Structure 1
Amino acid sequence: MKLKSTLALTIAAGMLLASCSDMNETTPQNPGNYILTVSPAASTGVADYLLTAPALDTGTVSTNRNGVEQDGTYRYYVTHNGKFFSMLYGQGNPGAVTAYNMQGGKLNKLTNFQTETVQAFAPVNDDLLLMKISRSLTAPTSSWYKVNTNSLTITSEGTVNTLDLTGVGELAHFTWLKQVGTKVFAPYQTINDRSFNTKYPDQASIAIFNYADMKLDKVITDKRASFIGMYFTDGLSVQESGDIYGFSPAAATTGGTLSSTKPSAILKIKSGTTEFDQSYFFDVEAASSGMSITSWLYVGNNTYIVNAAAKAEKTTGFPAGKRVGIVNVVDKTYKAVTGMPDIASIANLTTNNYSPKDGKTGYVGVNLKDGTSYIYKVDASTQTATRGLKVEGGTVTAVQHLN
């Protein structure tokens, strides 16, 4: 790991503190602390709108003369330390980051700045840790940045050689990042080209960094499953007990073809350890008659609401499941959710979703092929879904909450 000398670099060069004249925002029609990110209908290559709502169970919100328009397409979102961050994926170009807080049910823009386009990011302490990840075997340097969410400045940055990290002649491409105590766990897939192909489809790997200096502590690998998570998909979860679980979608490709011989599965790392627990293995496909997890939402009490795909529905690349199930990682159970629209009518489900962490409740965006969109409330305790808030004028891309 190489630490750059430009510590305490502020974002001031690219930061534009919002003023009343440049906010370009109106009082929302539905003020509230829930945030829905929506791509306008009947348009391509347009920016998302941020809508607010007082509740997700009932009502209607619309993009018509409403919401906060974002700059640029391909936005990703994270909530941390009382702020909502909207991050532009610049496809190789610098990406804008906009930060908001909530005032009276209305989003208040705090700052807008530019960083490198990053492919993984996560809250760590009071920071956002950002990672710009190389996909070039001849230029294998990946970069990380720590953005302090109080000062809204980059406090440190550095690099890691992701080719050297794997030791197998392929690049480590981090699927996401996760704080575990004073460490950062970074699950990765190994890739040998920009299409994410690999010669090693049957292994799950996690790089463990010491967060204070971002030095690599160790790499752990388990060959009972394929890689954990997916591109832009958080596959690692830390429980209240400190135990860590990670799901594999079994989505590795070689030569453009799905190639993992392992099932979609869940692995475990016991609290306080930095090794995979060899006594634990949850074969999700066996428990669910062939389903593969493609994303998940932790609701508490060892329980997850998962998006899943049947074996016949899995595709190369980054499969997006249109089915919803309930997984208990301790009981090793998978139960299908009833009450969702017929799968043939679903265009897509959101993967950036909200739970109050009450052990049972989660909210998932459902975009239908007829152009209508809703938020569905999922009760994990009864494995049922109920249609809630209607979203007019666009496709829901994320469901969040900000106090």
Structure 2
Amino acid sequence: MMTRKKQFSQLFMSLCILGVAGFNMGCSKDKSPAPDNGGGNGNGDGTKSSFVFVVYTDGSGGEAGRYIVPIGDVTKGTLSTKGVGVETEAYSFIRQNNKLFGIVYAAQGPTTPYRLNKDGKLEQAGNAINTEFTGIYGTVNKDAYVGGSVARSKDNPVATLYRFDAISNQVADRSAVDLMKITANGEMAVWTGLSQVDNKLFVPFYCTTGADGETTKYVDSTWIAVFSYPQMVFQKVIRDGRTGSIGNWFGMQGVQHTEDGDVYAWSTAGGSGKLRSTKPSAIVRIKKGTETFDQSYFFDIEKATGTKLARGEYIANGKFLMTLYATNEIGGVSGGRVKLAIVDVLNKTVNYVSGVPEHNQMSYNMKVYVEADKKTAYYVMKEDDGKLYLYVIDVATGKGSKGLYFQGIADVTSITKLDY
């Protein structure tokens, strides 16, 4: 079982080969409809669409590198980078305004937009723009995304939220944030994601002493920092004491609003040794129009399943595609054997997906895409023989089938869809 210190060390040693998927959570300033975390023909003007993957080659075909690769059909066949991939330096990718923005993990955070041309070929959609050393990000409305910079020390706990205009391709605004003032408990906030809820930004976080990310006195609480939008000014913290902290470093998941405007958050309640939460892994709720946890709702996942939640992505109608741990090993940014399940937060049910084997969890987050009609979800996983496949999930039946095979590819770090 890895400690947070080892997790952070793994993060920085793995930046050259790992990436994080971005997903679209677009909504208006007045209300928060369920996000479109993929959905072809959603933001673009065209009538055609293509899947787009970010992959890292295994070196079998020459030098290893990271590539962005479009492909039409993912239910069968093989994907490779030969002749179709565009090489990129970015590690993180977020879809907005029918573009894929690649963000480099560096002090200036160079960000480059990509799109599909009229022939469905990938091309650069503008110049690279310096942003920030980005650690969290999420889309806002249909025209922007917000990113947050990295701060690691209590001696310098000030981070930056920045608003990136996805239409004009520029940083539109910045706001300095003191991560010590967010916690107000002598420790520093480490944020794990960012979601728009109405005209606010919800940023889940956990606490750390800041020395090495290893120590904290606060393992049995759930926190969400609330910021105004578009000002990005810190307003308050929403706290609950029934489960542990939300999400994991670089996970970009853990808080999600549904079609009715309610917000659901979930916690692994993991950790190791003194850092292990005494609370159960669970899902909690914030009712529409409020900024407090709903004490009448508590979905105790451990009581229902005998195990802990790992990660999750929203599908629709209160249903999430989630991974649950299959053993006592609880991973953080990576690690742990997991099973795939459809979790219904409205009816408080957990149904494991048939046809998808138990497997080792990939790094940082789930690589998931949900079709616009919400009937089909796609899930990338590495099988025990080391081969990477895309599994096609029928949401109604909860059945999965093996689809696209990734040939000569060591890691898949992002999956989305663009129109052309």
TM range (shorter): 0.7 to 0.9
5 Å-filtered alignment, 1:190-209, equals 190-193=207-210, 194-209=212-227
What secondary structure sits across from 1:33 in the alignment? strand
**Aligned mate of 1:143, from 160, 164, 170:** 160
Which residue matches 2:24?
Answer: none
Of structures 1 and 2, the one scoring higher in RCO (CA 8 A, sep 6+) is 2
State whether residues 86 and 97 of structure 1, in contact with CA within 8 Å, keep that contact through their aligned partners in structure 2: yes
Please state how far the C-alpha of 1:313 moved relative to its aligned partner.
Answer: 2.4
Please state how far the C-alpha of 1:366 moved relative to its aligned partner.
Answer: 1.6
State whether residues 227 and 252 of structure 1, in contact with CA within 8 Å, keep that contact through their aligned partners in structure 2: no
Please state how far the C-alpha of 1:32 moved relative to its aligned partner.
Answer: 5.8
State whether residues 365 and 397 of structure 1, in contact with CA within 8 Å, keep that contact through their aligned partners in structure 2: no
Which residue matches 1:352?
Answer: 367
RMSD across aligned C-alpha pairs, in angstroms? 2.2
1:389 aligns with 2:408: no
Which residue matches 2:239?
Answer: 221
Once structures 1 and 2 are overlaid, which stretch shifts more, 263-272 or 54-63?
54-63
1:48 aligns with 2:63: no
Which residue matches 2:279?
Answer: 262
Please state how far the C-alpha of 1:359 moved relative to its aligned partner.
Answer: 4.1
Please state how far the C-alpha of 1:189 moved relative to its aligned partner.
Answer: 0.6
**Aligned mate of 1:153, from 154, 162, 170:** 170
Which residue matches 2:353?
Answer: 337
5 Å-filtered alignment, 1:26-105, equals 33-42=50-59, 46-71=64-89, 75-90=91-106, 93-103=107-117, 104-105=119-120
Which amino acid letter does the alignment assign opposite residue 60 of structure 1? T
Which residue matches 1:361?
Answer: 376
Describe the shift of the 1:196–1:66 C-alpha distance in structure 2 as closer, same or farther (beyond 3 A). Answer: farther
CA distance in 1, matches of 2:336, 2:194: 20
Which amino acid letter does the alignment assign opposite residue 239 of structure 1? T
CA distance in 1, matches of 2:293, 2:180: 23
Runs of 4+ deviating beyond 3 Å: 42-47, 315-322, 346-350, 357-360
Describe the shift of the 1:64–1:341 C-alpha distance in structure 2 as closer, same or farther (beyond 3 A). Answer: farther
Please state how far the C-alpha of 1:145 moved relative to its aligned partner.
Answer: 1.0
**Aligned mate of 2:315, from 290, 299, 311:** 299
State whether residues 294 and 306 of structure 1, in contact with CA within 8 Å, keep that contact through their aligned partners in structure 2: yes
State whether residues 367 and 396 of structure 1, in contact with CA within 8 Å, keep that contact through their aligned partners in structure 2: no
CA distance in 2, matches of 1:272, 1:393: 48
Structure 2: gaps spanning 5 or more residues: 1-47
Which residue matches 1:248?
Answer: 267
Please state how far the C-alpha of 1:220 moved relative to its aligned partner.
Answer: 1.1
What secondary structure sits across from 1:113 in the alignment? coil
Which residue matches 1:28?
Answer: none
TM-score using structure 1 length: 0.85
Which residue matches 1:171?
Answer: 188
5 Å-filtered alignment, 1:314-325, equals 314-315=330-331, 318-319=334-335, 322-325=338-341
Once structures 1 and 2 are overlaid, which stretch shifts more, 36-45 or 181-190?
36-45
Please state how far the C-alpha of 1:391 moved relative to its aligned partner.
Answer: 1.5
What secondary structure sits across from 2:302 in the alignment? helix
Please state how far the C-alpha of 1:114 moved relative to its aligned partner.
Answer: 2.7
TM-score using structure 2 length: 0.81
Structure 1: gaps spanning 5 or more residues: 1-30
Please state how far the C-alpha of 1:317 moved relative to its aligned partner.
Answer: 5.7
Describe the shift of the 1:253–1:114 C-alpha distance in structure 2 as closer, same or farther (beyond 3 A). Answer: farther
What is the CA deviation profile of residues 107-160 of structure 1, one whole-angstrom value per residue up to 9, with x for unaligned ones? 120132332221101111221111013221111111111110011111111201
**Aligned mate of 1:238, from 237, 254, 257:** 257
Which amino acid letter does the alignment assign opposite residue 223 of structure 1? G
Which amino acid letter does the alignment assign opposite residue 333 of structure 1? T
State whether residues 335 and 362 of structure 2, in contact with CA within 8 Å, keep that contact through their aligned partners in structure 1: no
Please state how far the C-alpha of 1:341 moved relative to its aligned partner.
Answer: 3.2
CA distance in 2, matches of 1:196, 1:331: 37
Which residue matches 2:295?
Answer: 278
CA distance in 2, matches of 1:377, 1:337: 11
Which amino acid letter does the alignment assign opposite residue 179 of structure 2? T
What secondary structure sits across from 2:168 in the alignment? coil
CA distance in 2, matches of 1:264, 1:307: 12
Q: Among all aligned residue pairs of Structure 1 and Structure 2, give the percentage whose two residues are the same amino acid.
A: 32
Structure having the higher strand fraction is 1
Which amino acid letter does the alignment assign opposite residue 200 of structure 2? K
CA distance in 1, matches of 2:153, 2:52: 36
Which amino acid letter does the alignment assign opposite residue 100 of structure 1? Y
State whether residues 308 and 320 of structure 1, in contact with CA within 8 Å, keep that contact through their aligned partners in structure 2: no
What secondary structure sits across from 1:312 in the alignment? coil
5 Å-filtered alignment, 1:9-20, equals none
CA distance in 1, matches of 2:275, 2:337: 16
Equivalent residues, number: 364
